[in-house]
A = this chain, B = another copy of it.
């Protein structure tokens, strides 16, 4: 599919955005407004924990983590990678059964091993808990292994934020922490994710959903867009945008734009969502922000 952008519209967009940037950068003494929470976050240490398991999806973990890693230079962030057993955890999914009862052996897939720093017993207090998805969840569900859900449930009330990516929302649902909330998950296996939990308003068309302390994203790479929105929420645009631009990341900033809900014909999806959207770098700020 070849898309020819509308030249005039494009030129107008660029002119308006460059004007806005020029205005921002010409201001000799810019003053920025931060929320009390943003001021507090910039001056404290945030304890962030990722839960991983064999068969985690690589970018569910490392996509959002790139943004947190970079921001651990200007800000104080501690990271714990938490698994059933500390040590190497691989991305290769363990075998699971298909609906017809046969075994799905995925041992041909390449295996990327990261090192979990803590187990569920040794994990420190967490301000933020992040739950990635991955095909490995099929094995855990099949085995009735609820160690992760038990950990989430035990930590939910003492964390300030809980985030999930892709099928990670299934873990939150099974842990019971999505009750009474709006949430989303990957559109590629929507039926699987949304079968869990009770009294959850699953949002079929959403790149991500923010409901109070719980942020849930759609599939895999949607987690990066959620994380960009989340760190802008945590620290404020003037302290985050330049960093995102330095990663040369082009964030989708409208959580309602979800062309994949249309593509996958998710039940209840807003089928009038355009498949095409525009992106640009985030508004830059003078370095002293």
Contact = CB atoms under 8 A, between A and B. Distances in A.
A115 interface: yes
Contacts of A218: 248
Contacts of A188: 246, 248
A218 B249 CA distance: 11
Given A9-B5, A115-B88, A280-B3, A18 B275 contact: yes
Contact of A221 (B106, B186, B249): B249
A247 B47 CA distance: 28
B14 A275 contact: yes
A187 interface: yes
Contacts of A221: 224, 247-250
Interface residues of A, number: 74
A66 interface: yes
Given A58-B62, A63-B59, A247-B59, A10 B274 contact: yes
Interface in A16-34: 16-18, 20-21
A214 interface: no
Interface of A: 1, 3, 5-6, 8-14, 16-18, 20-21, 57-59, 61-63, 65-66, 68-69, 72-73, 76-79, 81, 88, 91, 106, 108-115, 186-188, 218-222, 224, 245-250, 252, 259-260, 263, 274-284
